[in-house]
Structure 1
Amino acid sequence: MAASINTHNDTPQALIEAYEGLLVHVTQMHELASAEQWVELIEQRTYYVKRVEMLRELDSTVILDEADKLRKAELLERILEFDVEIRRRLVARRDELGKLIGVSQRQRDLHRAYAPQQGVTENHRSDDEEAAT
């Protein structure tokens, strides 16, 4: 990864490097979402949230000049674009899993509803088979 966030280095350069590092990280997360590597994505998302919180703390202590503000805005825009796309893919995955869970629940309910009847039929066969022997 690019620069790590170091709260002991409260300089404009450290802040910009932290945003650049966050952009690298969110880009990697976007690649995971595109490849439907959901477990890895969730693991990285946890790290991402922690990293954003650390960045927020650093951001509150650093004063930027106009050029750095512009660079920060550009980085933030790109980060947010990736974040929106990742969230869209996660919502689509959640919806897909919801449908699969719904199908599974309906199958279970059908099995529960018809399983007792199948048991009665099987018992009749067993009685018939015993009578035939």
Structure 2
Amino acid sequence: MLDPLADKFLTYSALIALLAAGKIYFYWVIILIGRELFVMGLRHIALEHEFSIFVSKLSKLKTATLMACITMIIINPFQSMGVHALYWNGIEMGLLLITLLLSILSAEQYYDDCMKRFALYVSRSEQYKEIPHDESLG
């Protein structure tokens, strides 16, 4: 459990550092970190009610594109300079847009999965509630 959490904090740190350096917009960082906090909240709800939410392939793809995007932003030698900047900044922007789209879609997927499992949990718990003992039956 500690390793994924450490990875998230490392990613958050990189995003916040890029924000401080002026290489990424605030609202993009809010969307990316907000998504992670939202999913962590869903996982906590699932854990509280003794069911689990599995990591989706879409989420793994989001993580891969996010890492590629952060790497691209860090190594981009052309921050709005010259002809080559269009190429680098275009790749950077494309990766960022794909990452944002995958973040939103995977958060929605996690939410749907959590709600389905929660509904199943509620229906099962109501089904197995103890029937009150009728003392007149003996």
Shorter-chain TM-score: what band? Answer: 0.3 to 0.5
Larger radius of gyration: 1
Greater percentage in helix: 1
Query: Normalising by structure 1, what TM-score?
Result: 0.44
Query: Normalising by structure 2, what TM-score?
Result: 0.43
